[in-house]
Structure 1
Amino acid sequence: MPVSIIKKTTISLMLGACFVSASAFADTQLLRQPSVSRDHLAFVYGGDIWLADRDGKNPTRLTQHPAAEFAPTFSPDGKWLAFSASYDRNTDVYVMPAKGGEARRLSWHPGADVVVGWSPDSKRILFSSGREISVSRSTHLYEVSVEGGHEQKVMDAIAFEGNWSADGKWLAYRPFPQAYAGSSGWRQHRGGTTPPIWLIDIAGKKLEKIPHENASDKSPVWIGDDVYFISDRNDGAANLFSYNRKSKLVKQLSKEMVWDIRSMSAYDKTIVYEVGGIFKEFDTVSGKTKTLTIDLSAQTAQANQLRPQWKDAAANMTSASLSPTGKRVVVTARGEVFTVPVKDGSVRNLTETAGVREKDASWSPDGKSIAYISDAGIEHKIVIKDQTGGDTSKSFSLGKTGYFSLLDWSPNSQMIVFQDNHLQLFVLNIAQGKITKLDESARRSTFNISFSSDSRWLAYTVAGANHFSQIKLYDFTSGKSTTITDGLSDADFPAFAPKDYLYFTASTNAGPTHVGLDMSSQERPLRNGIYAVVLAADGKSPLLPKSGDEEVKKEMKSDGDSSKDNAKKDDAKKDDAKKDEVAKSSKAIKIDLAGIQQRIVALPIAERNNLSLQVASDGGLFFLERPQPGVSNDPPAERSGNTANLMRFNAEDKKAKLVKAGIANYSLSADGKKLLLQSTGAKLEIADAAEKIDPKPINLSGLRMRVDPRAEWEQIFNETWWMQKEFFYDANLHGIDWDAIYKRYHPMLKHVQRREDLNDLMVEMIGELQVGHNRVGGGDIHQETPIAVGLLGADFSFENGYVRIKSILKGDRWSPFAPAPLAIPGLDVKEGDYLVAIDGKTIDAKTNLFSLLENKVGKQVNLSIMRDLTSKTTHQVVVQPIANEAELRQWHWIEKNREYVQKKTDGKVAYVYLPNTGGEGYQYFNRMFYAQAEKFALIVDERRNGGGQAANYITDVLSRQYLAGWKDRDGMIYETPGAAIYGPKAMLIDQDAGSGGDFLPYAFKRMKLGTLIGKRTWGGLIGISANPNLIDGGNLVVPFFRFFTPDNEWRIENEGVAPDIDVDLDPIEVNQGRDPQLDAAIKDVTERLKTYRDIKLRVAPPMPRKLGQ
């Protein structure tokens, strides 16, 4: 089958090539990923691949497509240029003639296939892929023929990048990833994820390790018999090093002091490397370095991303609230403030400030103004603007420090309450222009607030040292605050009624749920009751019983007077109603603070996960009821953020009733008569604030804005720099001159050609802080329309001219949402069978198997299966390919390990794997540990653990003491604790286990639970994240808290946890099907089992023989 031609990526160099002007930017920067041949230099700029002469002159663009094209690599003979591209949202391998022509696609697998090199004879392209990885954070190396066909795995050992020696015998490669990669900014990483360079003779089963320090080595290339690579081993910028295989010595070659060398390429005796966004050429003979000046036209690099465009802002909506009477909605989206009509009228953009972020817009209760936070000038200010727009506004500076959030107006429209990221609550008196600090929380939390209708009182929550929130009342007349709950319950979501009452939630079982950092908070139900505070000392409970007695009727007047009197009464009632409406907001609310805690009344509402209380104008109490954690595991297609039920409680009938199911959030208009319902997917609806509602959708199609990319990128860059300063756990930023860092990186902005480049630049900038969990990514990047490629849940090889099924992934029989396509009972497919055709299309030597599964996910596919080569008889089976095999592969590997441990230990040792320390790790532990709790010893495997929480739950279970046995008349003895393993324990760790995967082995070791075996962990115990997303939806993670030990020492961060027994995942053994780390753990626990005395009493003492015993 011919390899497909991708015409959309091609510009012929011979016909009509677009040579660019050198006048736009002399010494263009942000040049990436050089590849050098005898005559040419290929590189990446603006997401496209470019070609220039060896000296950088005469640059021209080879590819032009909004999707990313990267990793250009010349074949050794200089005839071909291979690269990876993410067309159709699938990263695959492509090849094109080095002198121009069409690009051909060579891989189709839905995993990311990244070009890393070539075979020495220029016939095969070497690439990395995670397609057959059992657990994340790893890849293998594969080769594919330049003519197309089935890919072949180079070896079973993990490898991230590699380069063949000239004779094709030795592979220089990096065996695991580095910490500073992708979205993670982490220069000078010194934890466990500091990869070495290894040289392996796969056929000869020989391994040679380049001398390695606690540093990151990468990008190996061969020049003769020596290996050149990039390393940050000298505690400065990453530089160029060489390794002489004869002397076994490593030598530093370049002297870069400021910027890291990020990538490089070699040809003959010359190396071209990328540093500071430019290219330099290093002569390995003379040792001299020169800069290559490349001039490109910025306007032609990615014109589509640079051009100002009108875009839908609804996808980036960050807040929405109703106007006072519900005729309009004020929306903040993508840094602009809009008002959207509920029914009649048009959408108004009130701000239209390119390069400025406005947020948290709120309508004043009198309807005249809209207030919002603006970051113009890299500082926050509150801006108050006329609700119809215009240029006139009032501005109140909030100072040079602090990141602020606007909470709400006072009902009289004279005050605005807001908070900052440093746990402080403030109020702005608009007329006076005065800002007053009201309170400060002991713990990081949101201040939930509510104003009394007369604007005198503010009810708000403050988190205490015990993590419980309390309700406080601030009196704007006296300037004093009073706590009205006792701190023994977790009180939250205060909501004033128009008069008489303050409602709030309170929980007495919230304690275990509060510290979300702890795994012990997993699947803890939260029961919130709803309460009312009777505000006045002489007030009445909303639940006060009615007597049921007859009311005495007043004496009736004569008929002649009644009609006139009734008319007068009706007029008086109308006048009173108007007066009441006008006076409602200003009518004084009576609050007696003395004895107020004794006037708290529990409402007859089921204690569930109730939250977000608000009171309608008729006194109806609205609230949300959210599902409890862990109560169900829904199909993936049914999972969304619309999980809350909107409820309403009426004091008259003392019942809570469902108003609407399946929403994300809601709010009330200032007059309490309209509901705004919010659902995921930028969906807004409006309804009357009644018991029964008929929601009407709000049309957001007019929520569009003109986006100037250059101005927006400037704002994103500035806010990223600013949020590091405001949210980083150390206010001094470890002593770094952050202003100097800004001055170093900001000039690079003018070279940014697309949103992805901006992320790349910001990753480098935040990497200067040299800590983990500091990341930036996403945003308004180009998104291809995906064309999903199906997978069959199997491994394949190409043998005897056919594709053979090497192994079938059985998956997890207890997971209903991870089907294994070829493991279905009754399907006549076996390991060793040959797959000869898909939907009637024959698979030959030049056909890539996965090309026939493109756009086949979830669809019925006919497979032609051949059982043996002798008869060549085929039979047909029908299967449904899946989109992702990750869970299948993970459980396949886990079960293989568990069964291996069972066999090697005669069933005495349990094996538990933990993919992370979040929800998945919690579930895996519960599932695997308790099912094996009768065993004598335990191996916990946390290799490649992705972290999540501090796994105190796991260490608590593992450290349980045997307390009691219980004798039943029949059956086995049972114990307290009901499930525990008291014998020897070992934990497998490696360099890819981090964050929570650092804390778990740290705690395991500190608590002396057993032996740590493997390699030093990642070293990332600095926490995330309290800051908001970026203006275009991009994510920025700023670490805002950090671990220290009970000895009051900063540890683990940028250090990792060292094993007690250091064991490499030796590639020679892995290629032979062994796991040396797992074998070491088995050896450790079985040796200790020989001397272990079982403390669990499996036989009860002799039965009592006397009464009373």
Structure 2
Amino acid sequence: MKKILKFVSASLPMLLISSMAFSNATKMLEQPDLSDNHITFVYAGDIWLANRDGSNPKRLISDNETQMRPHFSPDGSHVAFTADYGNNQDVYIVSINGGEATRLTWHPVDDMVEGWSNDGKRVVFTSMREVNHNRSPQMFEVGIEGGHPLKVMEARAVDPVWAADGETIAYRPFHKAHRGASGWRQHRGGTTPPVWIYNTKSSKTIEVPKPNSNDFEPMWIGNDLYLLSDRDGSVALHHYTTEGTVSKVLDTKPWDILSANAHGSEIIFEAGGELLMHDTNTKKTQTLAIEINPDLPQRRVAWKDVSSNIEFASLSPTGKRAAIVARGEVFTVPLKDGATRNVSQSDGIREMTAIWSVDGSKIAYLSDASGAYELIISDQFGKQQGSSYALTKVKTNYFELVAFADNDSKVIYRDSHLNLKYFDLKKKKSYVIGTDPRRKGFVEGSQQIAVSPDSKWLAYSLLGPSNNQILYLYNFESGKASPITRGMSDAAQPAFSVDGEYLYFSASTNRGPTVASIDMSQQDRPYRAALYAAVLSSAGKSPLLPKSDEEISLEKASDEKKDKKNEDAEVQATRVDLDGIMDRIVALPIAEKNYSHLAVGSDEALYYIDRPQPGSGLDASGNAADKSNLMRFDMTEKKSTQVISDVVNFVLSHDAKTILHASSEGEWQTAEIGAKIESKPLNTAELKMKIDPMKEWAQIFEDTWRMQVDYFYAENLHGIDWQGVYKQYRPLLDHVGTRADLNKLIVAMISELQVGHNRAYGGDVFNPSTVNVGLLGADVRYENGAFRLAKIYTGESWNPYLNTPLGIPGIDIKQGDYILAVNGKAFSANDNFFAAFENTAGKQVSLLVSADPKGKESRKVTVVPMNNERIARQWSWIEANRKYVDEQSKGQVGYVYVPNTADAGFTYFNRMFFAQLDKKAMIIDERSNGGGQIANYITDVLSSTYLAGFKDRDGEVYGSPVGALDGPKVMLIDQDAGSGGDFLPYAFKYEGIGKLIGTRTWGGLIGISHNPAFIDGGQMSVPFIRIFDAKGEWLAENTGIAPDIEVKLMPAEVNKGIDPQLDRGIKQMMDELKAFTPIRAVETPKIPTELGL
């Protein structure tokens, strides 16, 4: 490689304290660049232009859609940027004098601007559009006059920037862990990128030396290279010399330098929400005081429809109204007549889980008005200020209200630490009812409780020592809890009969291997439960006993009528005789299935949800083919029938006459219960409220801080001064201009905890209307004056998940053909191919096709473009690898790709592994594994030991386990495999299955979340569990799993189509096969010739 770096003496590191003297200066400025006369930057999703000293700032691009990553052209006349117009992040350029921006790319995969070519004729961008696996993009260029983009190289490239010689690129080969929604400062796992300097002519690579740190944002100043690095802790500016040394230029502690760009001898960068400029000649640094007061549409106070933000619903005692919690407000909605009421009427305050009192006069809910979530007891009209009660002395706890009990004197609730409690409104004190020893996992209905009709008894379930749930009865008068099941089955979902004589519940004897949990071994296993009734009184009778109508005297009939009237006026006491109750449990005559949400109606029928079984069937899109349906069991007819289809949740009113139910599409409906139910939509049209975004964002910020305290797996938060972190980041909140910027602030704050799986995203961000762009499932190149199909990804025509537009039988298009026109419109030289496919996904499109670029013997072909071809590209890569391994090993070695450790990983492994059991050895490729579950199923199968052989009269000898391969195995790993993708190679190595080849994995085994969503539906995943290994040591977090044999993907090889990690895996298997002796018998013992043998 030609020497292009000259030696510059290292600057002395200097501590730069971000100036707060500019009290009126705007913060949350980001992504700056500079030219001879101007600077550009992003604030509130818009691109701004200012003088070099920060004066005279003005919007260069203003739109509701988000703009990002502005970069000046070399002469400073234009700015290239990425914009999210039409919900599609593409490349645009605009003059610094303003005017309409020019669009340069149209592909539906994000195109991120990185800079310019040295001559200013092309914009450099990165994109995942042609990536077949991996989580990092490739480098492209597109001409400013238009035309089709050109891929610079096959190797992955992030932050690429051309050197002055026009043939050398400085870049990093993969993304860092701390980016986007993921907050992970000072990551030290496998995803710590280096900066590589690659010569495109000689194919030589220089790696900037580093410890285990993150190096990124390389910048050329002449022939000198500068970069950002966190090798000393905080991200600082560094300088690399030809002698191979890296020296720190400056830092901005306590803030990281987040992005930087260079021009001339100066570097502009952001830190702590401010922009700073450093002169590499004078070694001076200045903070730019930029004051802007723009109109920010997302800050405007406005009325909003919050019907799509419903997070909790309950019914009034007689079903006249529903209490709805939406967008942090408590509403009551009439089921028939009347107006919707906002009961809480708060602004910048969050309310949660509203429930009605049994007498209907009060509503209880949670509110953080005091700075901590407290219990509020309010009248149902919201006219009087509710009484407030602290449920705990801990100010950061979260709760969920469940029900009133004991004549409305107690409120039952759950806290965020596995406790079921009640708050005594008279004594103003909380009491523990029961505590789960661990979380129950993702089991529908496992949290269900039931209060007896006289409100003196509570039925609930807790996990027992064997992982089965045990059903309990709690008496409020005695304060005693009594188990009514033994733990030999999984008993849950209790429901009292209306007369209080029976307690219905579900129980399963096969929950052990089926419960949805962290283990992959539970995948596709059906959960079967039966439904039961416990006769509560020792004098009671089974609800299934035969009944007989008998004629009685008029006098007796009159007495019974009076008795019934008295019973209706006064609730009868629920009699519970605990002695012998386990022997008074009867099974209902219903098939065992996956049931949840039991409730008894006023008609004495049992209502429940029948859910699809795992693995019972998938539709063409891969989702469960069946819906959850509401069933009704009639006690007289002893028969169950479906009464409502597509019900995922429901609740009955206290009088058990009215039902409120939700569908899988989020539609809420109500009806009177009975043998035939006719539902009507709940009128949510008036669920509207006035929202002050700045107040709501402040509440979200507070929730962020509190949730980390309450849900983080370690109570000490690893010793961090979390209050100090709050004080550091809270001032920036006043400068947030968009909801997306709030997410960035949250991610920055939670990144201080320096752990994986700590993420924030979503919420009421601006969502532009989507204009789709159709794809053909092909690599398109502009060659010979026309667009050529360089490669067609055929997928699998028989597979509903993997077919592609050009891979369907009967489509007369071949690889190498040229596409000359789309829907009758011919292409010109400056056209972008994908621009012709706007709004065509899923629609018929006419293509003019020819084997000749001039159009000789052209033909018209009708196709239906797809909206995403990533899976087709991935599967093509997988199949190519499998065939390559088969060819190179002469049929001896198989190849299995595992994309994650969740559903797709389970499916891919089963499909590929068991179909190659004829191989002698196997390569398991988990590179870019996205995680999910603990893949014990995979390692269990891979480590299966040969137990015995079988002799049939006919056919070959076979053995047990049938689905096992006894030969050598190896696993390919890389920096993009993480979470479950960390655990899988750990387990593979721990169980002695084989060697690991590649690079160190991500290193994230603190995961993932049980905390609530934000008030506007945004999400934050607070890591609540941490994994340690079999030796009792913390596993992989912030270190990753190291390979036994390290092999990197260097650009010179990747650009030639070589996969050195796969090649090394093949070599390893062939070497191990030389010493391997098969243990599975292919011949039987000698057949006996004597009887009795």
TM-score (norm 1): 0.94
Q: Offset of 1:545 from its aligned partner?
A: 4.2
Residue 890 of structure 1 aligns to a residue whose secondary structure is helix
Deviations 1:561-602 (A, max 9, x none): x7xx69xx65x6654443221212xx1111111111111111
After TM superposition, the structure 1 = structure 2 runs for residues 712-723 of structure 1, keeping only pairs within 5 Å, are 712-723=696-707
Q: Offset of 1:815 from its aligned partner?
A: 2.5
Deviations 1:626-652 (A, max 9, x none): 000111111339769x92110111221
1:773 to 757, 765, 770: 757
Residue 1041 of structure 2 aligns to a residue whose secondary structure is coil
Range moving further from structure 2, 208-217 or 771-780: 208-217
After TM superposition, the structure 1 = structure 2 runs for residues 521-920 of structure 1, keeping only pairs within 5 Å, are 521-545=522-546, 570=558, 575-584=562-571, 587-636=572-621, 643-869=627-853, 872-920=856-904
Q: Offset of 1:766 from its aligned partner?
A: 0.1
Aligned to 2:378: 385
Aligned to 2:335: 342
Deviations 1:639-667 (A, max 9, x none): 69x92110111221211111111122111
Deviations 1:715-766 (A, max 9, x none): 0000011000000000000000111111111111100001001000000000
Counterpart code for 1:207: T
1:407 aligns with 2:402: yes
Whether the 8 Å contact between 1:934 and 1:979 is mirrored in structure 2 is: no
Q: Offset of 1:831 from its aligned partner?
A: 1.1
Range moving further from structure 2, 133-142 or 848-857: 133-142
CA distance in 2, matches of 1:854, 1:635: 25
Deviations 1:786-818 (A, max 9, x none): 000000000011111111111000113452133
CA distance in 1, matches of 2:124, 2:534: 71
Q: Offset of 1:343 from its aligned partner?
A: 1.1
1:208 aligns with 2:206: yes
Whether the 8 Å contact between 2:323 and 2:354 is mirrored in structure 1 is: yes
Counterpart code for 2:938: I
Aligned to 1:16: none
Residue 71 of structure 1 aligns to a residue whose secondary structure is strand
Aligned to 2:182: 184
Aligned to 1:501: 502
Aligned to 1:4: none
Residue 924 of structure 1 aligns to a residue whose secondary structure is helix
CA distance in 1, matches of 2:907, 2:857: 45
Residue 512 of structure 1 aligns to a residue whose secondary structure is coil
Residue 676 of structure 2 aligns to a residue whose secondary structure is coil
Deviations 1:196-234 (A, max 9, x none): 010111222111111122111111111122211111011
CA distance in 1, matches of 2:275, 2:157: 27
2:437 to 412, 419, 442: 442
Aligned to 1:980: 964
Residue 646 of structure 2 aligns to a residue whose secondary structure is strand
Aligned to 2:16: none
CA distance in 2, matches of 1:1010, 1:372: 55
CA distance in 1, matches of 2:516, 2:764: 34
2:283 to 284, 287, 307: 287
Whether the 8 Å contact between 1:314 and 1:682 is mirrored in structure 2 is: no
Counterpart code for 2:501: D
Residue 154 of structure 1 aligns to a residue whose secondary structure is strand
Q: Offset of 1:945 from its aligned partner?
A: 0.3
Whether the 8 Å contact between 2:406 and 2:456 is mirrored in structure 1 is: no
Aligned to 1:275: 271
Residues 94 and 869 (structure 1), Cα distance of their counterparts in 2 relative to 1, 3 Å cut: closer
1:239 to 230, 236, 241: 236
Aligned to 2:520: 519
Aligned to 1:161: 159
After TM superposition, the structure 1 = structure 2 runs for residues 253-402 of structure 1, keeping only pairs within 5 Å, are 253-297=249-293, 299-300=294-295, 302=296, 304-399=297-392, 400-402=395-397
**Structure 1 gaps, min length 5:** 1-21, 557-561
* Count of aligned pairs between the two proteins: 1066
Deviations 1:1061-1101 (A, max 9, x none): 00001110010011011001001111111111111112223
Whether the 8 Å contact between 2:169 and 2:198 is mirrored in structure 1 is: yes
After TM superposition, the structure 1 = structure 2 runs for residues 94-243 of structure 1, keeping only pairs within 5 Å, are 94-234=92-232, 236-243=233-240
Q: Offset of 1:991 from its aligned partner?
A: 0.2
Aligned to 1:33: 31
Aligned to 1:433: 428
Whether the 8 Å contact between 1:443 and 1:465 is mirrored in structure 2 is: no
Q: Offset of 1:139 from its aligned partner?
A: 0.8
After TM superposition, the structure 1 = structure 2 runs for residues 40-119 of structure 1, keeping only pairs within 5 Å, are 40-119=38-117
> What is the percent sequence identity of the aligned residues?
49
CA distance in 1, matches of 2:408, 2:807: 66
Q: Offset of 1:267 from its aligned partner?
A: 0.5
Range moving further from structure 2, 823-832 or 184-193: 823-832
Whether the 8 Å contact between 2:757 and 2:1004 is mirrored in structure 1 is: yes
Deviations 1:386-416 (A, max 9, x none): 1111133121112324211101112732221
Counterpart code for 1:1001: P
Q: Offset of 1:136 from its aligned partner?
A: 4.7
Q: Offset of 1:141 from its aligned partner?
A: 0.7
2:950 to 934, 948, 966: 966
CA distance in 1, matches of 2:594, 2:131: 40
CA distance in 1, matches of 2:947, 2:1007: 36
Residue 125 of structure 1 aligns to a residue whose secondary structure is strand
Deviations 1:310-365 (A, max 9, x none): 11111110011111111111100010000001111111000111111101101112
Range moving further from structure 2, 172-181 or 820-829: 820-829
Q: Offset of 1:906 from its aligned partner?
A: 0.9
After TM superposition, the structure 1 = structure 2 runs for residues 1028-1067 of structure 1, keeping only pairs within 5 Å, are 1028-1067=1012-1051
Range moving further from structure 2, 968-977 or 919-928: 968-977
Whether the 8 Å contact between 1:378 and 1:719 is mirrored in structure 2 is: no
1:479 aligns with 2:466: no
Residues 814 and 921 (structure 1), Cα distance of their counterparts in 2 relative to 1, 3 Å cut: farther
Residue 354 of structure 1 aligns to a residue whose secondary structure is coil
Range moving further from structure 2, 391-400 or 492-501: 391-400
CA distance in 1, matches of 2:621, 2:62: 36
Counterpart code for 1:53: N
CA distance in 1, matches of 2:208, 2:798: 45
Deviations 1:881-927 (A, max 9, x none): 00000111111110010000010011111100011000110000000
CA distance in 2, matches of 1:840, 1:271: 50
Q: Offset of 1:537 from its aligned partner?
A: 1.2
CA distance in 1, matches of 2:923, 2:370: 56
CA distance in 1, matches of 2:422, 2:41: 54
Range moving further from structure 2, 82-91 or 833-842: 833-842
Range moving further from structure 2, 914-923 or 803-812: 803-812
Counterpart code for 1:532: A
Deviations 1:156-178 (A, max 9, x none): 01112200001211010110010
Residue 804 of structure 1 aligns to a residue whose secondary structure is strand
Aligned to 1:14: none
CA distance in 1, matches of 2:793, 2:697: 45
